[in-house]
Structure 1
Amino acid sequence: MMLLALDTTAATATAALFRDETLVAEREADADKKHAETVLPLIDTLLEENGVTIAQIDRFAVDIGPGSFTGVRIGVSLVNALAFALGKPIVSVDSLLTLALSAGETQKPVCAMIDARNGNAYAALYHSGRTIIEPCAVEIESFCAKLPEDTILIGDVRTELKTFPRAAFVGLAAMRQGAQTGAEAEPLYLRPSQAERTKKQSAKEA
């Protein structure tokens, strides 16, 4: 079984190829270019380097967010289009779970956090393979104050964390029992974009 995983939620897009639940290769795009310019060439290069054609992919996995609004839209739209054209299923994986998996095996609680600016973050809490707090938008300081003392923090909120979602962990999450599989992926935003919030505020003030 060949699985192609894609992550475009962070500043650098990544793609990973799996064969029978084993990571074959992972590639990252040029961080200086926009996702819209790099994602298709990234996938083409990854497949070509490993002697695989897009028609040989049995399943797709995509990070549906939260993260960069534009990045999420690009990744989800592309995977939906590829899966539809090839008649293949999609596994939707949220970026907080991919971060939690990058912490490795641990008996401690793991809190994954992604910066949402202005003192806010997207967060979720996991422990021993279970989701304790579902992905949500939070105020960083008040949320962290309520976490168990031994919690492992992972993500990009603080300088010492600086971990970002990657396609390799999207693929690993996709192969976990209970991963959501369907014909189409839906973005997970958790809150309106800045443009939507500004528009709503302007409407209130009008």
Structure 2
Amino acid sequence: MKILSLDSSTESATCAVIDDNKLFGEITFNYKKQHSTVLMPMIDTLLKNLNMDIHSIDGFVVSKGPGSFTGLRIGAAVIKGLSQGTGKPFVGVSSLDALAYNLCYTSGIICPILDALRGNVYTALYNFTDNKLNMLGDHMLLSIEDLIKTLNNYNEPICFIGDAVPKFKDDLTSNIKQIRFSPANLNLARASSLGELGLKLLKSGIQDDLYSFAPFYLRKSQAEREYEKKLRSQVHE
């Protein structure tokens, strides 16, 4: 089964074509957020260089969040459009799952962190045992202080990965004893990792519905928060 995967959940934009045994090609841009202008040309360039067209793809995988609200919406719209146009299935995969999968076979706890602004991170905890990535709990939106408290309950090495690492590296290093950090070449979203996880789901018959699928954000957007604040102020007037 040949699939095209796309991740636009962070500042990086990345797409890949893989099958069960091979990564055919992958393109990643880790520069600014220009997803609305780069995603479709990037997919087109990748397919042309592989001498493929969109109808040679058997399924699609997209990051479903958490991450950038705008990036997730754009990525979902692109993949839903391709799925509808080709009649091929698609599935959403957690951006945190995909980041953790970059560090498969790492011992100890794998902790992806994405910048959620205001001193907060999107995160989840994982380990890799029996050739399988295991999630330890749920996706979380935490302050960096609360994340440190949570991690200090584990007596294992912690390996961090994700776009929030540079921002909080000093805080993490100062407060966690057994600490590691992903190398720079792995410390970003990779469509190939997302694709491998999604391929397993599609092959097992799991897919998302074209009309009901929506990214998950873990928090409300700034516009939603401001709207609710406005409603509350009107109630008290």
**TM-score, reference length from structure 1:** 0.91
Quote the offset at 1:164 in angstroms.
2.2
**In structure 2, distance between residues paired with 1:62 and 1:90:** 8
Quote the offset at 1:89 in angstroms.
0.9
Quote the offset at 1:203 in angstroms.
2.1
**In structure 2, distance between residues paired with 1:3 and 1:187:** 20
Q: Runs of 5+ in structure 2 lacking a partner?
A: 170-180
Quote the offset at 1:195 in angstroms.
1.6
What SS does structure 2 have at the residue aligned with 1:153? strand
**Residue identity opposite 1:154 in structure 2:** I
**Residue identity opposite 1:164 in structure 2:** L
Contact 2:109 2:159 in 1 (8 A): yes
Contact 1:88 1:183 in 2 (8 A): no
Does residue 165 (structure 1) correspond to residue 189 (structure 2)? The answer is yes
**Residue identity opposite 1:56 in structure 2:** S
Number of equivalences: 206
**In structure 1, distance between residues paired with 2:145 and 2:161:** 15
Quote the residue 1:199 is aligned against.
227
Contact 2:125 2:136 in 1 (8 A): yes
Alignment of structure 1 residues 127-138 onto 2, 5 Å: 127-128=127-128, 129-138=133-142
Per-residue displacement from partner, 1:20-55 (whole Å, max 9, x unpaired)?
341111012483562111111010000000000001
Quote the residue 2:208 is aligned against.
182
Larger Rg: 2
More displaced 10-residue stretch of structure 1: 96-105 or 50-59? 96-105
Quote the residue 1:12 is aligned against.
12
- Counterpart pick for 1:146 among 144, 150, 158: 150
Q: Percent identity?
A: 34
More displaced 10-residue stretch of structure 1: 194-203 or 174-183? 174-183
Higher helix share: 2
Contact 1:9 1:65 in 2 (8 A): yes
**TM-score, reference length from structure 2:** 0.80
Quote the offset at 1:173 in angstroms.
1.6
Quote the offset at 1:109 in angstroms.
1.4
Quote the residue 2:31 is aligned against.
31
Contact 1:115 1:156 in 2 (8 A): yes
Quote the residue 2:107 is aligned against.
107
Superposed CA RMSD in Å reads: 2.0
**In structure 1, distance between residues paired with 2:72 and 2:207:** 18
Q: Runs of 5+ in structure 1 lacking a partner?
A: none
